[in-house]
A and B are shown apart, each in its own frame.
Chain A
Amino acid sequence: MVGGYGGMDILNGVDITVDTQEIVVIIGANGAGKSTAMKALFGLVALRGGNVRFDGADVTGLAPNHLVARGMGYVPQERNVFRNLTVRENLEMGAFLKPAATARVMAQVFDLFPVLAEKAKQPAGELSGGQRQMVAVGRALMAEPRLLMLDEPTAGLSPLVMEQIFERIVAVNRAGIGILLVEQNARQALAIAHRGYVLATGRNRFAGTAAALLGNPDIGQSFLGG
Chain B
Amino acid sequence: MAEFINLYLIPGIAIGCIYALGAVGISLVFAILRFAHFAHGDVMTLGAYIAYSLVAAFGWSVYAALPFALLGGAIACVAIDRTVYRPFRRAPGIIVVIASFGVMLVLRSAIQLGWGVDVLAYETGIRRPLPLFGDIRMAQKHIIIIAVSIAIAAALHWFLSSSRMGKAMRAMSDDADLARVSGIDTERVVRWTWLIGGGLAAAAGIFAGINTKLHPGIGWDLLLPLFAAAILGGIGRPYGAIVGGLSIGIAQEVATYPWIGGDPLVPPAYKNAVAFFVMVAMLVWRPTGLFKGRVL
Our verdict on whether A and B bind, yes or no, reads yes
Which residues in A have their C-beta under 8 angstroms from that of B175? Answer: 79, 82-83
Give CA–CA (A80, B177) in the complex, Å. 9
Which residues in B have their C-beta under 8 angstroms from that of A164? Answer: none
B129-137, B164-172, B192-200, B270-278 - the one binding chain A:
B164-172
CB pair B185–A82 under 8 Å, yes or no, is no
CB pair B164–A94 under 8 Å, yes or no, is no
B193 to chain A, nearest CB (A): 15
Q: Does A17 sit at the interface, judged by CB under 8 A?
A: no
CB pair A96–B182 under 8 Å, yes or no, is yes
**B residues 138-189 touching A (CB-CB < 8 Å):** 164, 167-168, 170-171, 174-175, 177-186
Which residues in B have their C-beta under 8 angstroms from that of A42? Answer: 181
Q: Does A99 sit at the interface, judged by CB under 8 A?
A: yes
B290 to chain A, nearest CB (A): 16
Give CA–CA (A68, B179) in the complex, Å. 12
A85-93, A106-114, A197-205 - the one binding chain B:
A85-93
Which residues in B have their C-beta under 8 angstroms from that of A99? Answer: 164
Give CA–CA (A113, B178) in the complex, Å. 21
Interface of B (DSSP majority class): helix
**A residues 20-79 touching B (CB-CB < 8 Å):** 42, 44, 63-65, 67-69, 74, 76, 79
A30 to chain B, nearest CB (A): 22
CB pair A79–B178 under 8 Å, yes or no, is yes
Most buried by A among B175, B183, B184: B183
Q: Does A146 sit at the interface, judged by CB under 8 A?
A: no
CB pair A74–B170 under 8 Å, yes or no, is no
Q: Does A195 sit at the interface, judged by CB under 8 A?
A: no
CB pair A83–B174 under 8 Å, yes or no, is yes
Task: Select one of B167, B170, B177, B184 contacting A65, CB under 8 A.
Answer: B184
Q: Does A188 sit at the interface, judged by CB under 8 A?
A: no
* Residues A44 and B181 in contact in the complex (CB < 8 Å), given A82-B171, A84-B170, A93-B168: yes
Q: Does A143 sit at the interface, judged by CB under 8 A?
A: yes
Report how many residues on chain B are interfacial, defined by Cβ distance under 8 Å: 17
Give CA–CA (A79, B182) in the complex, Å. 12
Give CA–CA (A37, B168) in the complex, Å. 28
A211 to chain B, nearest CB (A): 32
Which residues in A have their C-beta under 8 angstroms from that of B164? Answer: 92, 96, 99
B203 to chain A, nearest CB (A): 26
Which residues in A have their C-beta under 8 angstroms from that of B182? Answer: 64, 68, 93-94, 96, 139-140, 143
A116 to chain B, nearest CB (A): 16
Give CA–CA (A82, B175) in the complex, Å. 7
Q: Does A155 sit at the interface, judged by CB under 8 A?
A: no
CB pair B183–A85 under 8 Å, yes or no, is no
Which residues in A have their C-beta under 8 angstroms from that of B171? Answer: 82, 85, 89-90, 93
Which residues in A have their C-beta under 8 angstroms from that of B185? Answer: 65, 96-97
* Closest Cβ neighbor of B292 among chain A residues: A84
* Closest Cβ neighbor of A149 among chain B residues: B181
A57 to chain B, nearest CB (A): 17
CB pair B178–A76 under 8 Å, yes or no, is yes
Which residues in A have their C-beta under 8 angstroms from that of B180? Answer: 63-65
Which residues in B have their C-beta under 8 angstroms from that of A67? Answer: 183
Give CA–CA (A81, B175) in the complex, Å. 8
Which residues in A have their C-beta under 8 angstroms from that of B186? Answer: 65
CB pair A64–B170 under 8 Å, yes or no, is no
CB pair B178–A97 under 8 Å, yes or no, is no
CB pair A84–B183 under 8 Å, yes or no, is no
Known interface pairs A74-B181, A89-B170, A92-B167; 18 further A-B residue pairs with C-beta atoms within 8 A, sorted by A's residue number: A44-B181, A64-B180, A64-B181, A64-B182, A65-B180, A65-B183, A65-B186, A68-B182, A69-B183, A76-B177, A76-B181, A83-B175, A90-B171, A96-B168, A96-B182, A96-B184, A97-B183, A139-B182
Q: Could you list some 5 contacts between A and B, CB below 8 A?
A: A79-B177, A83-B174, A89-B167, A96-B185, A140-B182
